[in-house]
């Protein structure tokens, strides 16, 4: 069971008799922690039934908890505490044999990825009202593969970017040369939607185009070249349920259909087997160059048949080896029409500032937030209403902040609860918290200090709150600006100070919420002292009252 839990990024906190308690999202949050937890529960059940022949009762609950970051679970020290833990225990007691019950927040965060059936509410000790619950049945897809999404709204605010992608494909065909387009943007900004629109444009065209797509995963074993493996398995028709011999046979047939030379096909097949999960990984040391050459020849052969589109999703999670291969592929492919499309968050450019640089056949497209008018059009389309009360529309636009995914989730929440002032949707909270937890420690702490100051803040205030050198603060803020978490304002309202603002108000809210309550008061006191030092206290009375 421990292996199943840890495979999905969880931590076994403790064993209590014959019960096991695991934690996801601490000490480091991931945007899909609820989904990971439910998938781990499904894996635990499968292991128990297949290997142990015993029955299990599992529950997954999501919510805020008090986390002891210095705890050592392996030594029996408790790591988390709170109502979310107690409720999970009550749900687990009420679960049927070999059943998995989840609470409301878990259900809302995972119902697109996990299939559920209704379950009666649970009468829980210490709860005034019954706890609503659902029973997990199975995953809608294996991890790393999107459930096919249908978009019921028109494309909004991304027409120019789509035209660029279509033009790049046409150029690769006209010039019979590879093109690399990297779509860069924060989570939810519209990268996947653009891919879907490009695929739709190809489907509506009159030319056959081969489309192969793979995604880099944020965790797991053997995921270094996962995206490539997805492409190879799709081309060969290999299923996850295929036995090794059957998978090897399919791979061999697929390679021989592309390459008539038996010596070359045997060489390429031997290097593709590790990608398909049917051979040992030999991509280290001197063997890496040979593997890259074999993989490139495989895709070159695909491109010789008809125009080829290769989509690498979530490259910000890719190992350096995969990034090196994509770079190698675009440099070395020749006389074949291949469009390589990569999607990534700004973190990729922090890791590889020169990504795509120096190549005449490469372009980086940065996706900006939608304008208020564009967001309003999207909200109206999602709600299927042409007119909304002014206060509702204003609240939804403010909370969405130009992010299409945020708009969708807030509209969904508004439709379910009829309110715009409810807590953050679990999906949005998870996305932002995961990005912040992925920052270097000093950057995350700096962002939390900025959150104490407010939506707008100044470098001098952060230097005062954290006892930092001004030059260090400016350098770290520039790094956060590259990650599109903050932006520097052209003019400052405080003389001699650089003024910054959070790019999205929700980033500020999540960063502030992650500050331990015990240290918030001290940070507010330091912020107030910096404001007082500016002089004219009567003009800053409201700000000082807030911090004091």
Residue 363 reports pLDDT greater than 80: yes
- At residue 495, the pLDDT reads 83
CATH 3.40.50.300: does it fit domain 159-366?
A: yes
Q: Which residue has better confidence, 372 or 73?
A: 372
Q: Of the ranges 185-199, 374-388, 499-513, which one carries the lowest mean pLDDT score?
A: 374-388
Retrieve residue 24's tokens. Answer: 């996801």
Exposed / middle / buried, residue 491 (Cβ in 10 Å: 0-12, 13-18, 19+): exposed
Residue 181 reports pLDDT greater than 90: yes
Partners of 181 in the beta sheet? 341, 363
Alpha carbon 240 to its chain centroid, in Å, reads: 24
- At residue 409, the pLDDT reads 83
pLDDT in tens, 129-145: 899 999 999 987 655 54
Residue 121 reports pLDDT greater than 60: yes
Residue 9 reports pLDDT greater than 90: no
- Tell me the mean pLDDT in the region 258-282: 89
Q: Of the ranges 83-87, 123-127, 444-448, which one carries the lowest mean pLDDT score?
A: 123-127
Retrieve residue 524's tokens. Answer: 């507010």
Residue 539 reports pLDDT greater than 80: no
Partners of 12 in the beta sheet? 22
Check if the beta carbon of residue 370 is closer than 8 Å to that of residue 378.
yes
CA dihedral 240, 315, 432, 468 (to 10 degrees): 140
- Indicate if the alpha-carbon torsion angle 450, 454, 459, 465 is positive or negative: negative
Helix (H) / strand (E) containing 131:
strand 131-139
Q: How far apart are CA 84 and CA 62, in angstroms?
A: 6
Residue 542 reports pLDDT greater than 80: no
Alpha carbon 488 to its chain centroid, in Å, reads: 25
Retrieve residue 526's tokens. Answer: 């330091």
Domain definitions of the chain by residue range:
2-139, 159-366, 372-422, 433-547
Nearest to 307, CA basis, from 388, 221, 198? 198
Exposed / middle / buried, residue 3 (Cβ in 10 Å: 0-12, 13-18, 19+): exposed
Q: Which residue has better confidence, 419 or 162?
A: 162
pLDDT in tens, 396-424: 888 888 999 888 888 887 877 776 666 67
Q: How far apart are CA 519 and CA 529, in angstroms?
A: 16
∠ CA 11-14-19, rounded to 5° = 110
Percent pLDDT > 90 in the chain is 55
- Model confidence band, residue 428 (pLDDT cutoffs 50, 70, 90): confident
- The edge-to-edge listing of strands for the beta sheet with 338-344 is 210-215, 308-313, 338-344, 179-184, 362-366
- At residue 222, the pLDDT reads 61
- Model confidence band, residue 538 (pLDDT cutoffs 50, 70, 90): low
Q: Of the ranges 60-64, 184-188, 207-211, 414-418, which one carries the lowest mean pLDDT score?
A: 414-418
Q: How far apart are CA 3 and CA 220, in angstroms?
A: 11
- At residue 132, the pLDDT reads 93
CATH of 2-139, one of 3.50.50.60, 3.10.20.90, 3.40.50.10490, 3.30.70.1230: 3.30.70.1230
Percent pLDDT > 70 in the chain is 92
DSSP string, 378-443: HHHHHHT-S---HHHHHHHHHHHTT-HHHHHHHHHHHHHHS-SSSPPPHHHHHHHHHHHHTS-HHH
Q: How far apart are CA 230 and CA 218, in angstroms?
A: 15
- Model confidence band, residue 284 (pLDDT cutoffs 50, 70, 90): low
- Model confidence band, residue 31 (pLDDT cutoffs 50, 70, 90): confident
Burial 420-459 (b: 16+ CB within 10 A, else e): beeebbbbbbbbbbbbbbbbeeebbbbbbbbbbbbeebbb
- Model confidence band, residue 391 (pLDDT cutoffs 50, 70, 90): confident
- At residue 517, the pLDDT reads 80
Residue 544 reports pLDDT greater than 90: no
* Integer CA distances (angstroms), 312 to 181, 355, 367, 475, in order: 10, 14, 17, 31
- Tell me the mean pLDDT in the region 238-255: 90
> For the whole prediction, is pTM greater than 0.85?
no
Nearest to 363, CA basis, from 163, 510, 519? 163
Cα atoms in the Cβ-side hemisphere of radius 13 Å centred on 91:
28
pLDDT in tens, 338-357: 999 999 999 999 899 999 87
Q: Which residue has better confidence, 220 or 505?
A: 505
Q: Which residue has better confidence, 9 or 502?
A: 502
* Integer CA distances (angstroms), 126 to 57, 90, 438, 515, 521, in order: 21, 10, 36, 28, 32
Contacts of residue 135, defined as CB under 8 A and 6 or more positions apart, other chains included, come to 95, 96, 99, 100, 101, 102, 116, 117, 118, 119
Alpha carbon 352 to its chain centroid, in Å, reads: 19
- At residue 322, the pLDDT reads 95
Nearest to 458, CA basis, from 442, 470, 467, 441? 470
- Model confidence band, residue 282 (pLDDT cutoffs 50, 70, 90): low
Cis bond before residue 27 (omega within 30° of 0): yes
Topology (CATH level 3) of domain 433-547: Arc Repressor Mutant, subunit A (1.10.10)
pLDDT in tens, 317-338: 999 999 999 999 999 999 999 9
- Model confidence band, residue 147 (pLDDT cutoffs 50, 70, 90): very low
Return left, alpha or beta for 17; rule: phi > 0 is left, psi -120 to 50 is alpha, else beta. Answer: left
């Amino acid at each position: 069971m421990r292996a199943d839990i840890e495979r999905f990024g969880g931590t076994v906190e403790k064993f209590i008799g014959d019960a096991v308690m695991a934690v996801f999202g601490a000490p480091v949050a991931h945007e899909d922690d609820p989904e990971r937890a439910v998938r781990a529960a499904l894996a635990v059940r499968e292991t128990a039934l297949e290997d142990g022949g015993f029955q299990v009762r599992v529950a997954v609950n999501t919510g805020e908890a008090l986390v002891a970051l210095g705890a050592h679970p392996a030594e029996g020290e408790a790591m988390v505490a709170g109502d979310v833990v107690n409720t999970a225990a009550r749900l687990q007691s009420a679960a049927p044999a070999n059943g998995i019950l989840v609470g409301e927040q878990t259900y809302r965060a995972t119902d697109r990825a996990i299939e559920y059936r209704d379950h009666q509410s649970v009468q829980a000790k210490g709860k005034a009202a019954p706890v609503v619950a659902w029973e997990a049945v199975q995953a809608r897809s294996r991890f790393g593969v999107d459930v096919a999404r249908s978009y019921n709204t028109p494309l909004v605010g991304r027409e120019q970017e789509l035209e660029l992608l279509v033009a790049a494909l046409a150029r690769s065909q006209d010039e019979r040369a590879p093109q690399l387009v990297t779509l860069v943007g924060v989570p939810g900004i519209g990268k996947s939607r653009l891919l879907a629109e490009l695929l739709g444009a190809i489907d509506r065209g009159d030319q056959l185009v081969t489309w192969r797509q793979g995604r880099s995963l944020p965790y797991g074993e053997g995921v270094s070249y996962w995206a490539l493996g997805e492409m190879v398995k799709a081309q060969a028709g290999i299923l996850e349920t295929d036995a090794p011999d059957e998978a090897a046979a399919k791979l061999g047939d697929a390679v021989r259909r592309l390459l008539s030379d038996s010596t070359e096909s045997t060489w390429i097949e031997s290097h593709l087997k590790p990608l398909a999960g049917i051979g040992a990984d030999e991509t280290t040391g001197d063997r890496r160059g040979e593997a890259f050459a074999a993989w490139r020849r495989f895709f070159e052969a695909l491109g010789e048949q008809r125009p080829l589109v290769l989509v690498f999703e979530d490259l910000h999670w890719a190992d350096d080896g995969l990034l090196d291969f994509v770079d190698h592929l675009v440099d070395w492919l020749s006389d074949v029409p291949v469009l390589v499309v990569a999607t990534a968050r700004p973190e990729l450019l922090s890791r590889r500032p020169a990504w795509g640089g120096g190549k005449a056949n490469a372009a980086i497209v940065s996706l900006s937030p939608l304008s208020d008018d564009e967001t309003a059009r999207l909200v109206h389309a999602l709600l299927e209403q042409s007119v909304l009360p002014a206060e509702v529309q204003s609240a939804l636009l403010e909370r969405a902040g130009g992010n299409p995914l945020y708009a969708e989730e807030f509209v969904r929440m508004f439709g379910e609860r009829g309110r715009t002032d409810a807590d953050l949707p679990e999906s949005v909270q998870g996305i932002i918290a995961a990005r912040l937890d992925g920052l270097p420690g000093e950057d995350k702490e700096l962002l939390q200090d900025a959150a104490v100051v407010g939506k707008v803040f100044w470098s001098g205030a952060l230097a005062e709150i954290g006892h930092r050198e001004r030059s260090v603060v400016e350098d770290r803020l520039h790094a956060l600006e590259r990650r599109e978490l903050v932006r520097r304002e052209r003019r400052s309202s405080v003389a001699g100070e650089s003024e910054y603002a959070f790019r999205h108000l929700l980033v500020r809210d999540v960063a502030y919420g992650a500050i331990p309550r015990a240290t918030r008061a001290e940070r507010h006191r330091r912020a107030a002292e910096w404001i007082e030092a500016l002089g004219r206290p009567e003009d800053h009375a409201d700000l000082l009252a807030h911090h004091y």
